Structure 1
Amino acid sequence: MPADQPEWVLDARQAVGDRIRVRRLHQNMTQESLAHATSIDRSTIQRMEAGAEMKLSHLLLVAHALRVHVTDLLHG
């Protein structure tokens, strides 16, 4: 996707990242432990929480590791 995303897209991505972080912390997980549980690099988890572009497969793996449905991360 181009870098000039509409503001609502950037806001929505940040909201997903925030929900990932909140769920992770609620379960007393570090980024490292979530990375281990998902087989995703910690830097990718960090970028996801920061609201960067994320692959659907990564989002699904994170939701599974956090024991939530992916829609809980998308729509809070």
Structure 2
Amino acid sequence: MRELPDDDSWTIDRQRGMGERVRATRRAQNLTQEQVFLAARVDRYTLQRVEAGEDARMSTFLRIAWVLGVDLADLVREEPRPGAGDANRPGQ
């Protein structure tokens, strides 16, 4: 078992990455925020917060992934940085 780093900056970075992937996926499908939040049955503000990388419920991510037609893992998965190896993982 790994220990968590002393600060939570890594979680903020990961949340921002998730928000960026939601936004990029939405834009790649030429969808507006309005189309997505209405189809996902979430508030406009909720979708804006998700795309900004702020805290969101798992059910919100599941709804957005469903509407975008992607696996939740595709939105959550962190992109490896070239040459970083395990350095992307906290506690490494």
Question: TM over 0.5, yes or no?
Answer: yes
Q: CA deviation at 1:42?
A: 0.9
Aligned-pair CA distance for 1:23: 0.2
Q: Give the deviation of 1:72 after TM superposition.
A: 0.2
The 3-state SS of whatever aligns with 2:49 is helix
> Unaligned stretches of 5+ in structure 2?
1-6, 79-92
Q: Which structure shows the bigger proportion of residues in helix conformation?
A: 1
Identity %: 38
Which residue identity lines up with residue 17 of structure 1 in the other structure?
Answer: G
Residue number among 23, 29, 32 corresponding to 1:30 in the alignment: 32
Distance 2:15 2:48 in 1: 13
Structure 1 unaligned residues grouped into runs of 5+: none
Between structure 1 and structure 2, the one with the greater Rg is 2
The amino acid of 1:63's aligned partner reads A
The CA RMSD measured in Å over matched residues stands at: 1.0
Taking structure 2 as the reference length, what is the TM-score of the superposition? Answer: 0.76
Deviation at 1:16, TM superposition (A): 0.2
Task: Name the TM-score, length of structure 1 as normaliser.
Answer: 0.91
Aligned to 1:59: 61
SS, match of residue 17 in structure 1: helix
Runs of 4+ in structure 1 over 2 Å off: none
Q: Within 2, Cα distance between the matches of 1:41 and 1:32?
A: 9
